Structure 1
Amino acid sequence: MARSKVSITCENACVDFPIFDAKSRSLKKAVLGSAGGAIGKTDSNVVVVEALKNINLNLKEGDRIGLVGHNGAGKSTLLRLLSGIYEPTRGAAQIRGRVAPVFDLGVGMDPEISGFENIIIRGLFLGQTRKQMQQKMDEIADFTELGDYLSMPLRTYSTGMRVRLAMGVVTSIDPEILLLDEGIGAVDAEFMKKARIRLEKLVERSGILVFASHSNDFLAQLCDSAMWIDHGEIRQTGEIEEVVTAYEGPDAGKAVRESLDRLAKDRAAEAKAAANAAEGGQAR
């Protein structure tokens, strides 16, 4: 099925959060600590937290960009701007395409209903229809490996089980624009490996990916470029190795290069194996 043309364009986009009662220094300090932005004032003398400042971004079909930066730097705020949750206070942000925002794996799930019912609810939250989710039900259930638990209320699940269920739903969709904030890790290593493979296939199906992560290995696997955000501003954009080196230092950059080389070898081996299998099938 043909995909409509997708794009993300931001021109000097800013997001400010006004603080209408910020007379004391202690309150200002508390706000700054939680939001991570710079504190300023509007022309009307209202104190604001400048969460994003002069963001310029131009993404098109096929772009996969990773966001790096410390906690509170503005990565999640940028994802929310691109999803339409926040509107720019100044400047402009234009998004063309159907957006699938994946910020919190638990959003859109009800602890009082079953896993099967939550698959439907979470899918609706991500822009899918009830019929689409019903068609994917068996495949999602197989992926989660939750078995009879899917008939039980979500409140009976462990954290890891909830992550499995949410990952199953998230990775079943076909987004035009995928906005992903890494929120996985409460699952065992074997399932994480399985989830990463499935997540990689999700990214391949999406038109544009914007991915905020603290895992450089994960960024190398899913993205082809990176952006460093610091105190709400873009510090640097470019190749993943280059940006990570600037942000974290040469050792981190070297680790990214090793991950990229390893991924390239693995993908070349997979392509060769697929070609050999195809040739074997033709020979028969």
Structure 2
Amino acid sequence: MARTRTSGIIWISVVLLAVAITTSTLGLFMESWRVSDEFVEKDYDGEESEVEGVSFSSGLNNLVMTYDFSEFADGYYEDQCDDDLEDSASEQRGQNAECIDDNTLILTMELSDRCELLEENYDDIIDDGDYSSEYEEETKDERDGVCQSESAGTTGTILLWIGFGTAITSMIICVISAFVAHSGVRLSGGFVGITSGLLMCASTILWLILLPDEKIDLNQGEWDLGVNFILTLVGGFLAVVAGVIALVAGRKGGGNFNSPMQQQQYFQPQQPLYQDQTQYYQKPDPYQQW
């Protein structure tokens, strides 16, 4: 009976781990770790101004800018999003442009390629020596902001991939333990599940800590945490819960038949048979002993 109850409990761990794997997959490939509905830029005098018609969403490794040409630049580019504009905007390295309709342009930039490009531009500016110190400082801040975002995303991606792999491993172990009902297998699945959840949570927290300072960030406007950040954090928590459930199931149910206690319980039903045999055994009569 204990084995049946704990086998049912272990399936809860499997379901929670499946949810955690799904959320981590979305976190790895979607671009909504943080979002912003406003674009704030600085002019050469250092004054900030908001640009209408531009919104941002950022993933671990890329940045997506959405332009609404009906509002951007006071509607100067309204109804002008076409194939020629796509080709022109996609010429820059690490950048891809797509027109959703006549007024909506989505610009996707890979942070690693963008970081390399800005590093090359900054080196060229320093080598030329013909630019003002203010322009050099502005270019340096732009480079540092993109490169720090790229570094934060790389760190988060590595941890999240490891957490993703360990979550799959834990789920496989838990599925096996549901049929084998071995306490050692369930305990192993529990420890691996907790590890995967901690790695997922660590990927979100470290990514958030390593993001650049607001002064040199990709956008000086306010950022909000996106859906994928929250889902990944929740998925990590669910993986930890799944691991704890597997540990509890491993301690309460499942047997290790190599232990002396389990062997004693396994062979105990045979004892009455030997007792019954002793009851029917009679000492031989004296004349039969010789």
Q: Which has the higher contact order (CA 8 A, sep 6+)?
A: 2
Higher relative helix content: 2
TM range (shorter): under 0.3
TM-score by length of 1: 0.21
TM-score by length of 2: 0.21
Larger radius of gyration: 2
Higher relative strand content: 1
